[in-house]
Amino acid sequence: MIPRYSRPEMSALWQPQARFRIWFEIEAHATDALADLGVVPREAADKIWAMNDADFDVERIDEIEAETKHDVIAFLTHVSERTGPEARFLHQGMTSSDVLDTCLAVQLARASDILLADLDRLLEVIERRAREHKLTPTIGRSHGIHAEPVTFGLKLAQAYAEFDRCRTRLSNARAEVATCAISGAVGTFANIDPAVEAHVADKMGLTIEPVSTQVIPRDRHAMYFATLGVIAGSIERLATEIRHLQRTEVLEAEEYFSPGQKGSSAMPHKRNPVLTENLTGLARMVRGYVTPALENVALWHERDISHSSVERYIGPDATITLDFALARLAGVIDKLVVYPARMEKNLNKMGGLVHSQRVLLALTQAGVSREDSYRWVQRNAMKVWESDGELSLLELLKADVDVAAALPAEEIEARFDLGYHYKHVDTIFARVFGEA
């Protein structure tokens, strides 16, 4: 992942030094368990743990791997150089996948914890802004066209509910991917006791993999990365809404534009939604990792390594990118500039067309067929539409012979009450956020 879209805590998790630290802990905990079982000397396990605080020489490990062409063997050789003869008791009955797969599980679990914290921050910001604009009137749109009134707070409440579902999915995906496999070649435990796996799982904060076949089944990872892809989709959904609201023709909300910021190298007037456009691009990248993760599920027999190169990319890239995107989105919402007056202006732009359904329903309740009610309202609404809102739907309806015969003027006027549309906002907010 490139530094531009990386944050330190998540990036550090995927650095070689962090990976080797996890490898060491897996091997050392396994040796501890073997010592408890009497398979290896206790003093050997203690000697191995003695180098726990030492940094690993990444360059030396790379040098060894250049000769051995095997990363785990290179690591074990390096530990042997540091530890001495006791290191021969490392990796007893284990296979490389025991280390690699368990390490990946630890990394994905820890990455999830960072992402869950990101989501918590985002949810807190969305809720605060939603409550701030709970009753800020704005126009709801379907197909990009004015539909009926909503509030800006309801728009944000929808986003909150969506990201709350994302959080639940990620929590479940974390539990599913955080499994440990220390079962040896082809997963039979022939050369290592299952108690070792249970011990390592407990120490590393994982659960045991019921059947590992030498590798942890990749359906777990596929679900994990699919979940990240869904979260990315939700990020793009909210980002796209903001991008639309910032369009000059709409301008109901916009990204914060800081002092000294420049929008264009050519046009000094420009204030562009660059952060949400960036989020749209980052979301595409995270979703792009879902298909390779799904294709990793089908491995040959008990194990192959066709998944390995894929995961070396998508593990760091997907989590680092999503971490950055969630933090950026929280910042955008936190500082989002909202224009209630412009929302009201847009809401009233089309001569009251947004109230057409209420008149339609009132006519049906007055005894007019739905077909006639729809036709009478629509023929007046189209005149307003074609006048670009210069005409008033209310005045046209009151002047319409058929409509006026069915509804007195005061009843027509009553159907143009904006507040009517917001009578259940409290109910929706209670569903999303709980009772105030």
State the angle between helix axes of 58-68 and 71-83 in degrees (0 to 180), rounded to the nearest 10: 130
Encoding tokens for residue 18?
A: 């962090």
- For strand 253-254 and strand 179-180, is the pairing parallel, antiparallel, or unpaired? unpaired
Is 142 assigned a catalytic role?
Answer: no
Separation between Cα atoms, residue 277 and residue 373, nearest integer Å: 43
Catalytic residue among 91, 97, 264, 373: 264
Is 183 assigned a catalytic role?
Answer: no
Separation between Cα atoms, residue 181 and residue 164, nearest integer Å: 31
Separation between Cα atoms, residue 315 and residue 320, nearest integer Å: 8
CB 31 within 8 A of CB 199: no
H or E stretch covering 189: none
Measured in degrees and rounded to the nearest 5, phi and psi for residue 137 equal -65, 140
Amino acid of residue 390 = E
Q: Which residues contact 207 (CB under 8 A, 6 or more apart)?
A: 175, 178, 179, 180, 201
Catalytic residue among 142, 143, 269, 301: 143
Closest CA to 300 of 182, 186, 176: 186
State the angle between helix axes of 16-36 and 71-83 in degrees (0 to 180), rounded to the nearest 10: 70
Question: Could you list the active site residues?
Answer: 143, 264
